[in-house]
A and B are shown apart, each in its own frame.
Chain A
């Protein structure tokens, strides 16, 4: 993988909480347009890794570079390039879908006309065009998740980080999410998605990273391989 095309670079990344190591010397690169599935058992460090990559958490050792910008020194440049969909929707319940996106659009410095256009387009893309002026507190988990993806894509980031986006979604919502990611919203971006839904991985991702006890135990293209087998042997 050529170095200049790497969108996400993790170099010897370690993280410990109160002396307890969670990640131990992790290194990998993700290119522009690449969709990587991050797999691992509960507590293997997936969410911690995504928090480090997004800049919400600082590594104990090692470095993170996004689009060539290094954290935390060039944090502002990095933040502008990252969209994060976390466990929680990161949305304000007492604002409408449109107001939520408008607020985050302002925080990302998107001009008013541009913002309004993008919000309208994104709400339609995630299937919430008709609920644009409904309060988020009236939304189902699936609707919040879709709006959360719209929020993360609003500033057109080069990097999308998705932390178990399928959790709590029904089958129809999962399929809709896959469609959204493999079509418009995911195209051209470097994406890392942590998930436990192994059967969904080959439909969206081209490469898998398996974390076990804070280390990468598998990092390769998925091709037509059996995900359960990869996961079992890498986690053992």
Chain B
């Protein structure tokens, strides 16, 4: 009687992608914010090349966090705006499948923006951000943000002050992702031995596994009235 897990997940992802291709509400807002943010940081750090090199991993992740927060908010607001979340809840599908579907949609949109940022930052900051390990770290970090962001956006979208509440709720919880992702990115960029940045990268992966398990367990309760 229950719809298969992956049928539901793929239906939600393809629905989100199709709607986004039509409306361009998420990627355009996130990309514009990221572009402006990178430019502002670039101008602010223009005179000090050393500081710019030191700060580039922080700039990347701070920009990604705020851009993705905008995206998560919009993504869940689309479900809320016309009562669509109720329609999802009425279907005989597991709440975990709804979570994974929304999570992967958010991950894809944010990853597109994140990957577009790398060549732009390479050009503006003069550092080789188009590196295989940087891309892996970016993808992992974004997946982590999307995991906790999807859960929290589902909670905050049901409140009036959702635009303000999501960053307030998300940032402290996303701190472990931020710290490990910045350390790993900085290590890779500085050309440090792999042993130095593989630790934070492994920790990032471990934190993602823990958060993902928690979110899968908690999502059902988040959706409860």
Q: Are both chains from one complex? A: yes
Chain A interface: which size bin?
Answer: 20 to 34
- Which residues A42-90 have CB closer than 8 A to chain B? 54-58, 76-77, 79-80, 82, 84, 86-90
Chain B interface: which size bin?
Answer: 20 to 34
Q: Is the CB of B8 within 8 A of A54?
A: no
Which residues of B have CB within 8 Å of A91?
Answer: 82, 84, 87
CB 8 Å contact bits of B144-182 with A (1 = contact, 0 = none) = 000000000000000000000000000000000000000
Per the bound structure, the CA–CA distance linking A84 and B86 in Å amounts to 10
Per the bound structure, the CA–CA distance linking A87 and B83 in Å amounts to 9
A-B contact count (CB 8 A): 83
| Chain B residue at minimal CB-CB distance from A89 | B82
Main secondary structure of the interface of B (DSSP, over half): helix
Per the bound structure, the CA–CA distance linking A224 and B82 in Å amounts to 38
Q: Is the CB of A77 within 8 A of B91?
A: no
Which residue in A84, A93, A109 is a CB contact (below 8 Å) of B92?
Answer: A109
Q: Is the CB of A108 within 8 A of B82?
A: no
Which residue in A56, A58, A77, A99 is a CB contact (below 8 Å) of B18?
Answer: A99
> Is A181's CB within 8 Å of the partner chain B?
no
Which residues of B have CB within 8 Å of A95?
Answer: 15, 18-19, 22
Which residues of B have CB within 8 Å of A88?
Answer: 82-83, 86
- Which residues B45-89 have CB closer than 8 A to chain A? 78, 81-84, 86-89
Which residue in B23, B78, B86, B93 is a CB contact (below 8 Å) of A107?
Answer: B93
Knowing A87-B83, A107-B11, A109-B7, say if A56 contacts B1 (CB, 8 Å). no
Which residues of B have CB within 8 Å of A92?
Answer: 15, 19, 78, 82, 84
Knowing A80-B1, A92-B84, A94-B22, say if A108 contacts B92 (CB, 8 Å). yes
Q: Could you list which residues of chain A lie within 8 angstroms of chain B, going by C-beta atoms?
A: 54-58, 76-77, 79-80, 82, 84, 86-95, 99, 103-104, 106-109, 135, 151
Q: Could you list which residues of chain B lie within 8 angstroms of chain A, going by C-beta atoms?
A: 1-4, 7-8, 10-11, 15, 18-19, 22-23, 78, 81-84, 86-93, 224-225
